[in-house]
Amino acid sequence: MSTNTGSVPSYSLRRAENRNIFVKGMRDGIPIGLGYFAVSFSLGIAAGNAGLNPFQSFLVSLLCTASAGEYAGFTVIAAGSAYLEIALITFIANARYLLMSCALSQRVKPGTSLIHRFGLAYTITDEVFAISIARPDYLNPNYSYGAMLVATPCWSIGTALGCLAGNLMPARLVSAFSVALFGMFLAVIIPPAKKDKLIAGLIVICFLASAAAAYLPLTSSLSGGTRTIFLTLLIAGGAALLFPRDSETSGQA
């Protein structure tokens, strides 16, 4: 009776390869995690201002690793908005991840299990997507898992510590730290605004429209969350209709 042992070395090789790729993902995730910790500390202060405790802040960051989505959620929570408003604003703020998921789905090996595809979807953040999509050949999910194994705890723990520190520090110091979060958003919007005058113009329009909506009779009575949703759909939809970008240009963005 013959015994087929050829699959054993093959399995061992695949396991060793997956382990090496996982470790490489962890290594590449270290600088991302350090950056996440600094940013999420300020985000935790915003969570504390919205009434969340450190454990709740930790849980939010563990389940939603998106600074814009979390900050939008904390903003509407602080405004006392309804659950539907919170769901809508976080969905809109995180809609870009739908496009990133589509891009990554084209990079995974055909036949990749649904569990791994869901796992990759969870790992998507701007930074992890950037290092994952840059991988040569097919994307091994273990690489993204390794990066997120380092980045996610830094993000979650930083948020919890920021919330805790916000409860212990004087009000003036908390206010000063909160400015760092706005600095993060400026760091996100200024570089593309320098490269593209259209984006710069839209950013100015967003600022002006947001300020005007807070005082105009028809919109001032709405909650802050509802105004944000309305302006996001209006400005983003209008820009897409008036200034469409072809697929080639979008792919280079």
Q: What is the pLDDT of residue 146?
A: 94
For residue 55 the two structure tokens come to 């454990």
> How many other CB atoms are there within 10 angstroms of residue 198's CB atom?
13
Three-state secondary structure call for residue 192? helix
pTM for the predicted model, two decimal places: 0.64
What tens digit of pLDDT does each residue of 181-229 get?
Answer: 566 567 657 777 888 888 888 889 888 988 888 888 888 887 666 677 7
- Residue 188 in domain: no
pLDDT for position 250: 43
> Domain for residue 190, yes or no?
no
Shared domain check, 238 and 131: no
Beta bridge partners of 139: 108
Domain total for the chain?
A: 2
Task: Please give the Cα distance from 167 to 150 (Å, whole number).
Answer: 27
- What pLDDT, on the 0 to 100 scale, is given for residue 252? 41
The answer to whether residue 46 sits within a structural domain is yes
Residues 240 and 147 in one domain: no
Residue type for 129, please? Answer: F
Sign of the Cα torsion 151, 152, 158, 161 reads negative
CA distances from 199 to 12, 81, 190, 203, 231 (A): 50, 30, 9, 6, 16
123 and 244 housed in the same domain: no
The CA–CA distances, whole Å, from 196 to 210, 215, 224, 240 equal 21, 30, 29, 15
The two structure tokens encoding residue 75 = 């903003």
- One pLDDT digit (tens) per residue for the chain, 253 residues: 445 555 556 778 888 888 999 999 999 888 888 888 877 887 888 888 888 999 999 999 998 888 778 888 888 888 887 888 888 888 877 877 887 888 888 888 888 888 988 888 888 888 888 888 888 888 899 999 999 999 899 999 989 998 888 767 665 665 565 565 566 567 657 777 888 888 888 889 888 988 888 888 888 887 666 677 778 778 878 887 888 765 444 444 3
Residue range of the domain that includes 64: 9-180
Same domain, 40 and 151: yes
Q: Is residue 137 part of a domain?
A: yes
Q: Do residues 121 and 206 share a domain?
A: no
The verdict on 143 and 200 lying in the same domain is: no
Tell me how far apart the terminal alpha carbons of the chain are, to the nearest angstrom.
60
Whether 22 and 141 map to the same domain: the answer is: yes
Tell me, yes or no, whether 118 lies in a domain: yes
Residue of 245, 177, 149 whose CA lies nearest to 41: 177
3-class state of residue 1 by DSSP = coil
Is 226 found in the same domain as 251?
yes
Residues 174 and 204 in one domain: no
